[in-house]
């Protein structure tokens, strides 16, 4: 029986191999693209889920119901963990995790740059990263111990057992001895915490000065609760803890007349589950992925598969007329409906299976290209996980049932007598086909509208004034093996008389994302005249404003003519001046109201607001200090425009003489700034890929439906031509039905696209206004594509000899 079914199915597919190829091609492309999107979403949804007892691990965050805007931050004061352990001994484990820039590692005279995390001994009790060597209970017990990753062990020690070996770690040329006490498995790509090595947080910079500062913001803190302690109960017990230790912050909120939230808190220390850490960008200072984006990816995968299924269903229903006599004859010979259903559905399942196999093959071939284009880190190993395999199989069965099940069921319901008499009525299938085509056009127009809006937003962000001149400036990360101030001094000496170099300077923070891909942020919070103020802190060297062409609006720049500028003198941005409530704050002392030590900084100048971090966020106030003891991590060089092409090679050669132990990673500042828009650009590219595939699939389906329609109306077209119908009239006759469906789909897509993208744009501080002309453009394009797709078959049918049409019908 099965052999017979298979033979019939193969013969049927071979007879209609043109339509079968259309079916298979559409399904293969849809499966391939959907697989990529589902892999990305699966990777995001499984972030941190590999930890044992992940449902009992929480990150602490501080909630402040500020009258201006509720604030949630995961940057905890350094003394939080000791206090939590003292006040809540029932907590199973508590640890701090502080990730900074890459640090210098030295072993046997060889230097490496590795990502060092500062943490507590409880790190290995909270998280279940596999320990390949060493003892979990004691690996981080000693402050002089270091636990390294497998990758770092391979890089530094090769095949030698690293346990007990000595390493020197540090930043800015200051290295400290550590002993390797453990080797930890490399963190997977779907882990929030990434590392090359772990050392005790007591060895972090300025730890002693920060240990008793409850107004500081530093590491993330994770708590592992016992089975019998629930999140709500523990948060309730944290209320007196907050009142006990965060008195200064609470007093600041009271002075601002803050009101309790719906839970009765003005200030509260709360918990968020580990599974939500990756998706909460507010708590973790913009890191992670918005969960809405993940749902959008799943929605795109669903839309693409739905369009492919619609093509399959429409073609199958349209071709049911040509197979109606076969079904009628087989039913008259006694074939049961379930046997016919199995036969017809089996043909569809076979075709879906072929499309699925071809789609998987395309995915394997195109995976490297997809990763390179969209900055993804997908691997086929992720597809071998049981959960993902089950998801794909369920998806395949769903597509098979959707695409093949309904047409098969519809054909088995045909009345035998009516079919054999030639009285088959296709009214209901026609209405269903129209509904499916409208759905298809709606999805295609929706994705196209969203793509154009996303591209407009990215272009708008790129055209935004940054507050500084990014052209003809080269940014050079100093690295961890040299002192930034010393290297800047040497560069100034070597390039002092070079006419192609206009100015040099240094800073603690890069602008944009350079080749080191490092982004760090320092903030400063204080109370001024009873008002809580928070700002970004930037340490710079002389000529920073000159190099970036930022002109002070009040006061002056840092100057070598004033020796006091290197001690407690600052520049502030205009937004900071507004926060201080002073129209001209030059000469004002800047610092906390409670500071009576006389160490307040004096404001010597005000500069226009400029974008220090991503343009997706609102510009924050900035305080600029002249770097004296603080390190400079980046050097900026402005060159003459006409010498720009050779400037990079010249600087690379000079760098080899002033900092030979540090690799040269210079890049142009305008390229760095472009990297700020990477997430938005990737999102718009994914949308464009999805909309492009949707349009192509829709055109393939539309072309096939038009072909079948022309075939079924050949006799009608011949009669109309005999009666005097013109070619344009016949083309319009065959095309207007599809044009009407496109217009209906467009009317449905426009409000959905407007609402959805309006919600997406809300997360940007600076955003475009959606123009009605964009929807007009999409509508015009959709109509032109429809006419182009349908017209080929329509014109061909209209030009056919009517005598031949009537004779062959």
pLDDT tens-place string over residues 532-565: 777 888 999 999 999 999 999 998 999 888 888 8
Q: What pLDDT score was predicted for residue 519? A: 72
For 196, residues 6+ apart whose C-beta sits below 8 A from its C-beta are: 114, 115, 116, 148, 149, 151, 152
Give the whole-angstrom CA distance, residue 108 versus residue 122: 30
Q: What pLDDT score was predicted for residue 179? A: 93
- The DSSP result for 93-140, as a single string, is EEEEEEEEEEEEEEETTEEEEEEEEEE-TTHHHH----EEES-TTTTT
**95-121 average pLDDT score:** 85
Q: Are 370 and 376 in contact (CB under 8 A)?
A: yes
Residue 51 has pLDDT above 80, yes or no: yes
Give the whole-angstrom CA distance, residue 440 versus residue 422: 31
Two tokens, residue 21 = 């190829």
Q: What pLDDT score was predicted for residue 428? A: 42
Q: What pLDDT score was predicted for residue 792? A: 67
Q: What angle do CA 547, 552, 555 make, to 5 degrees?
A: 130
**686-702 average pLDDT score:** 80
Q: What angle do CA 710, 715, 719 make, to 5 degrees?
A: 115
What is the chain's mean pLDDT, rounded?
Answer: 81
For 102, residues 6+ apart whose C-beta sits below 8 A from its C-beta are: 113, 114, 115, 116, 480, 516, 518
Q: What is the pLDDT of residues 198-222, one digit of tens each?
A: 999 998 877 888 888 888 778 899 9
Q: What pLDDT score was predicted for residue 327? A: 61
In degrees rounded to 5, what are phi and psi of residue 755? -65, -45
Two tokens, residue 416 = 């035998």
Q: What pLDDT score was predicted for residue 427? A: 38
Give the whole-angstrom CA distance, residue 610 versus residue 618: 11
CA atoms within 13 A on the CB side of 284: 23
| H runs (alpha helix) in 375-426 | 386-400, 406-412, 416-421
Q: Are 652 and 474 in contact (CB under 8 A)?
A: no
- b/e 20-43 (16+ beta carbons within 10 angstroms → b): bebbbbbbbbbbbbbbbbbbbbbb
> Backbone dihedral region of 679: left (phi > 0), alpha (psi from -120 to 50 degrees) or beta?
alpha
**276-292 average pLDDT score:** 79
pTM across the whole model: 0.74
Give the whole-angstrom CA distance, residue 122 versus residue 95: 5
**376-402 average pLDDT score:** 75
Give the whole-angstrom CA distance, residue 258 versus residue 634: 40
Q: Are 653 and 620 in contact (CB under 8 A)?
A: no
**224-236 average pLDDT score:** 91
Residue 82 has pLDDT above 90, yes or no: yes
Q: What percent of the chain has pLDDT over 90?
A: 20
| Total Cβ atoms within 10 A of residue 196 | 23
Q: Are 157 and 151 in contact (CB under 8 A)?
A: no
pLDDT tier for residue 429 given thresholds of 50, 70 and 90: very low
The beta strands (E) that lie in 706-779 are given as none
Q: What pLDDT score was predicted for residue 421? A: 52
Give the whole-angstrom CA distance, residue 38 versus residue 295: 10
Give the whole-angstrom CA distance, residue 479 versus residue 491: 15
Give the whole-angstrom CA distance, residue 129 versus residue 148: 12
| Total Cβ atoms within 10 A of residue 785 | 17
| Residues making up the chain, counted from first to last | 809
Q: What pLDDT score was predicted for residue 150? A: 94
Give the whole-angstrom CA distance, residue 407 versus residue 324: 12
DSSP label at residue 289? -
Residue 386 has pLDDT above 90, yes or no: no
Q: What pLDDT score was predicted for residue 57? A: 95
| Total Cβ atoms within 10 A of residue 314 | 23
Q: Are 627 and 541 in contact (CB under 8 A)?
A: yes
For 542, residues 6+ apart whose C-beta sits below 8 A from its C-beta are: 505, 558, 559, 560, 626
Q: Which long-range contacts (CB under 8 A, 24 or more apart) does 284-287 make?
A: 284/74, 284/220, 285/73, 285/74, 285/75, 285/521, 286/614, 286/617
Residue 124 has pLDDT above 90, yes or no: yes
Q: What pLDDT score was predicted for residue 126? A: 93
Q: Are 278 and 25 in contact (CB under 8 A)?
A: no
Give the whole-angstrom CA distance, residue 804 versus residue 806: 6
Distances (CA, A) of 414 to 267, 345, 406, 421, 637: 69, 15, 13, 12, 78
Give the whole-angstrom CA distance, residue 635 versus residue 472: 14
The 3-class secondary structure across 128-155, one letter per residue, is: CCCEEECCCCCCCCCCCEEEEEHHHHHH
Residues pairing with 262 in the sheet: none
Give the whole-angstrom CA distance, residue 281 versus residue 292: 12
Q: What pLDDT score was predicted for residue 211? A: 86
Q: Which of 226-240, 268-282, 284-298, 299-313 is the least confident region?
A: 284-298
Of 520, 542, 545, 576, whose CA–CA distance to 467 is shortest?
545
In degrees rounded to 5, what are phi and psi of residue 198? -125, 130
More confident residue, 730 or 143: 143
Provide, for the chain, the percentages of residues in helix, strand and coil under a 3-state DSSP scheme, each rounded to the nearest 5. Answer: 50, 15, 30
Q: Are 190 and 39 in contact (CB under 8 A)?
A: no
């Amino acid at each position: 029986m099965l052999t017979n079914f298979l033979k019939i199915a193969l013969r049927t597919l071979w007879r209609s191999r043109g339509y079968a190829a259309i079916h298979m091609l559409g399904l293969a492309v849809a499966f391939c693209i959907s697989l990529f999107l589902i892999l990305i979403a699966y990777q995001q949804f499984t972030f941190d889920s590999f930890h044992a007892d992940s449902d009992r691990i929480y990150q602490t965050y501080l909630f402040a119901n500020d009258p201006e805007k509720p604030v949630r931050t995961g940057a905890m004061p350094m003394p939080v963990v000791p206090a939590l352990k003292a006040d809540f001994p029932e907590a199973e484990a508590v640890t701090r995790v502080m990730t900074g820039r890459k640090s210098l590692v030295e072993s046997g005279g060889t230097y490496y740059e590795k990502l060092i995390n500062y943490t507590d001994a409880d790190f290995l009790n909270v998280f279940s990263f596999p320990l390949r060597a060493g003892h979990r209970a004691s690996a981080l017990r000693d402050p002089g111990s270091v636990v390294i990753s497998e990758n770092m062990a391979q890089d530094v020690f090769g095949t030698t057992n690293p346990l007990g070996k000595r390493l020197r770690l540090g930043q800015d040329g200051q290295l400290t001895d550590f002993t390797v006490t453990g080797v930890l498995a490399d963190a997977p790509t779907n882990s929030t915490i990434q590392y090359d090595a772990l050392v005790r947080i007591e060895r972090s910079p300025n730890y002693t000065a920060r240990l008793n500062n409850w107004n500081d913001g530093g590491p993330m803190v994770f708590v592992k609760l016992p089975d019998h302690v629930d999140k709500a109960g523990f948060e309730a017990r944290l209320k007196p803890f907050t009142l006990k230790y965060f008195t200064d912050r609470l007093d600041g909120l009271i002075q601002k007349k803050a009101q309790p939230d719906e839970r009765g808190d003005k200030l509260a220390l709360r918990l968020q589950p580990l599974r939500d850490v990756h998706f909460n960008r507010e708590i973790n200072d913009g890191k992670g992925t918005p969960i809405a984006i993940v749902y959008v990816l799943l929605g795109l995968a669903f839309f693409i598969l739905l369009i492919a299924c619609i093509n399959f269903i429409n073609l199958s229903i349209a071709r049911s007329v040509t197979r109606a006599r076969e079904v009628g004859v087989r039913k008259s010979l006694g074939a049961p409906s379930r046997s016919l259903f199995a036969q017809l559905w089996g043909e569809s399942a076979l075709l879906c299976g072929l499309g699925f196999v071809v789609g998987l093959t395309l995915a394997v071939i195109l995976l490297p290209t997809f990763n390179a284009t969209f900055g993804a880190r997908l691997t086929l190993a992720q597809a071998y996980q049981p959960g993902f395999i089950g998801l794909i199989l369920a998806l395949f069965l769903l597509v098979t049932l959707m695409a093949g099940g309904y047409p098969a069921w519809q054909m088995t319901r045909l009345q035998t007598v009516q079919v054999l008499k030639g009285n088959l009525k296709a009214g209901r299938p026609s209405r269903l086909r129209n509904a499916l085509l409208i759905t298809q056009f709606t999805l295609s127009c929706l994705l196209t509208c969203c793509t154009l809006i996303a591209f407009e937003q990215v272009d708008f962000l790129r055209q935004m004034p940054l507050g500084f001149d990014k052209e003809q400036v080269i940014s050079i990360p100093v690295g961890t093996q040299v002192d930034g101030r010393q290297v800047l001094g040497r560069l100034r000496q070597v390039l002092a008389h070079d006419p192609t170099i206009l100015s040099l300077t240094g800073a603690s923070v890069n602008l944009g994302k350079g080749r080191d891909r490092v982004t760090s942020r320092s903030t400063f919070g204080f109370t001024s005249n009873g008002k809580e103020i928070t700002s970004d802190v930037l340490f710079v060297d002389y000529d920073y404003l000159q190099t970036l062409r930022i002109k002070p609006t009040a006061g002056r720049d840092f100057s070598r003519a004033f020796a006091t500028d290197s001690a407690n003198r600052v520049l502030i941005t205009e937004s900071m001046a507004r926060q201080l409530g002073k129209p001209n704050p030059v000469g004002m002392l800047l610092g906390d109201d409670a500071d009576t030590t006389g160490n307040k900084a004096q404001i010597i100048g005000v500069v226009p607001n400029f974008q220090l971090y991503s343009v997706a966020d609102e510009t924050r106030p900035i305080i600029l200090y002249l770097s004296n003891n603080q390190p400079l991590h980046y050097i900026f060089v402005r060159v003459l425009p006409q010498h720009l092409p050779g400037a990079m090679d010249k600087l690379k050669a000079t760098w080899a003489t002033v900092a030979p132990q540090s690799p040269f990673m210079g890049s142009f500042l305008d390229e760095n700034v472009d990297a700020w828009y990477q997430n938005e650009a990737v999102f718009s590219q994914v949308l464009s890929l999805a909309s492009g595939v949707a349009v192509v699939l829709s055109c393939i389906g539309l072309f096939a439906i038009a072909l079948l329609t022309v075939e079924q109306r050949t006799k009608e077209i011949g009669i109309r031509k005999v009666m005097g119908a013109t070619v344009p009239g016949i083309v319009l006759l065959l095309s207007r039905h599809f044009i009407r469906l496109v217009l209906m789909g467009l009317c449905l897509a426009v409000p959905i696209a407007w609402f959805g993208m309006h919600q997406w744009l809300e997360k940007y501080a600076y955003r475009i206004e959606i123009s009605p002309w964009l929807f007009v453009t999409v509508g015009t394009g959709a109509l032109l594509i429809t006419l182009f797709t349908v017209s080929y078959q329509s014109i061909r049918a209209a030009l056919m000899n009517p005598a031949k049409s009537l004779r062959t019908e």
